[in-house]
Structure 1
Amino acid sequence: MIFEELEQSIRLLYPKCPIKRFKDVCIVSEAEPNATVKGLSFNIPESLLIGNELIKSLSGFFENSDRIFRKDCDGIVLLEYNGKSYCLLIELKSAFDTKDIDKARKQILSTYIKLNMSLMPLADYNKDDFEFIGIIVSKEPTGDCLKWIRNINMLSDTDPKKKLYIFPIQLYSEKQKVIHYDFYLREKGYRLSPNCMYEKMKYCHVAVPPDSSIYKADIAKFL
């Protein structure tokens, strides 16, 4: 079994942290009952889903810090593909709203930081053994929203109107975006150790068709 020793170490140190092992198909679900995107599934021989309860439990330590540190994403999935180890940080959104997509980035960022804070004490965990990828899942933009995105995207990247929405706009047009460190943390003046922060990380967008609520993706396209 993949990551067996790491799983045992997590269970021993954090016995209340739910961990689920999947065979053949991995499923990440949305807890919000009114969400229109309720789940993401993908075929993979074996994967490990770490419950975000572990991440939520750390939020109290950041009560008076920036609100970004009180966010978390929907799914943390460890898997192997073509000999490489990956950690997918997955957030499900009902619509491609620019504010929600930017919020999803912050939820993934916060999860990345707190996950590494939690696992760093474990001898069986080394952050550098994994490639981390942020996966944002949402319905495709339509109508006025799609028209607005296309119009904004025609502007220069330095245009103030576009700079406000640069991450979601580029994520929509390019389907993936690599972020070096994170401009939000830099603007806020946070200086975090490489032990719990990335130098760069790829974010990808999974577009869910209008008639789907649980979407099955070809995860290999994003690795």
Structure 2
Amino acid sequence: MAITHFLQKVAPKYATQEYKGQVDVLEHDAGAAVRKVTWTSADFSHFDHNFAKDMTSFFQIAQSPDIFHLDCDGVVLFENDGKKYMFLTELKSKFATQTLYHAKTQIISSFLKTNMFLHLSNCYKLEDYTIKGFIVGYAPAPDFTINMHKGSMLSGKSQKYREFQLAHRLFIHNKSQKITLKPTDFLCLKGIPIGERGIFPKIDLHYITVPDGSSEITLDANAYL
């Protein structure tokens, strides 16, 4: 894949080989319960997990807004039937509305930095890619639905209400645990003058449930195209 060649030439520290047929996205926190997602059924370019972390250091030094200070666990790119995809994956070992909201923000942060860097490449055009985000973790507790109904009484301007709204859209309003978000759905982007090539027009956000007692899951990329 041309992206792999680009990384080898421009940023060899972060260059990895092209992964034929499958690639692992790992959680590097030693205490995590959910440790690995294996994507299959494509040939993948995979960004080294340190790539976004090292870019984060620059934005911290530059005193950039907080949205540039986060990162998700893995970014993979691949092609299928002539179409291009970018999958951003974040693994979570505990389920909470706050954790869910934070994972969404980690995904957008990694996208901003990855997309910015890839624009250096003559083989990358944002408009060619379908962008998808995946939060991977355990199922919510049995009383989750009850707590969701209580959340409707929260103030509409509070952070807790925004966390409730995301969880409600993913798990109550949409049983498929998939929603489509636009840049205007990310409060963290408000007031930041990002050009149209700096942000996606939309992103599909999925929540993938890991079976109880398991620390990993294998996902067929074709099932999410």
Asked if Structure 1 and Structure 2 have the same fold, meaning a TM-score greater than 0.5 normalized by the shorter chain, the answer is: yes
1:184-223 aligned at under 5 Å gives the runs 184-187=187-190, 189-223=191-225
Task: Give the corresponding residue for 1:91.
Answer: 90
Are 1:6 and 2:3 an aligned pair? yes
Shift of the alpha carbon at 1:25?
A: 2.4
Q: CA RMSD in A?
A: 2.2
Q: Distance in 2 between matches of 1:130 and 1:93?
A: 26
Paired amino acid for 1:61: F
Task: Give the corresponding residue for 1:121.
Answer: 120
Paired amino acid for 1:54: F
Which of structure 1's runs of 4+ aligned residues deviate more than 3 A? Answer: 143-147, 155-164
Are 1:35 and 2:37 an aligned pair? no
Distance 1:132 1:217, change over 3 A: same
TM-score (norm 2): 0.86
Paired amino acid for 1:23: K
Shift of the alpha carbon at 1:185?
A: 3.2
Larger mean Cα displacement after TM superposition, 129-138 or 38-47: 38-47
Q: Distance in 1 between matches of 2:143 and 2:214?
A: 21
Paired amino acid for 2:28: A
Task: Give the corresponding residue for 1:77.
Answer: 76
Distance 1:14 1:44, change over 3 A: same
Q: Distance in 2 between matches of 1:163 and 1:112?
A: 21
Task: Give the corresponding residue for 2:134.
Answer: 135
Gap regions ≥5 residues in structure 1: none
Deviations 1:196-218 (A, max 9, x none): 21121111110111121111223
Gap regions ≥5 residues in structure 2: none
Paired amino acid for 2:215: S
Deviations 1:181-204 (A, max 9, x none): 1431344x1120112211211111
Q: Distance in 2 between matches of 1:121 and 1:201?
A: 22
**Aligned mate of 1:177, from 143, 154, 179:** 179
Shift of the alpha carbon at 1:36?
A: 0.8
Paired amino acid for 2:117: S
TM-score (norm 1): 0.87
Shift of the alpha carbon at 1:111?
A: 0.6
| DSSP-derived class of the 2:46 partner | strand
Q: Distance in 2 between matches of 1:164 and 1:221?
A: 27
Equivalent pairs: percent with the same residue?
26
State the aligned residue count: 217
1:6-25 aligned at under 5 Å gives the runs 6-25=3-22
Q: Distance in 2 between matches of 1:126 and 1:116?
A: 9
Q: Distance in 2 between matches of 1:14 and 1:53?
A: 12
Q: Distance in 2 between matches of 1:198 and 1:113?
A: 9
Aligned 8 A contact 1:112 1:196 in 2: no
Aligned 8 A contact 2:4 2:18 in 1: no
Distance 1:58 1:144, change over 3 A: same
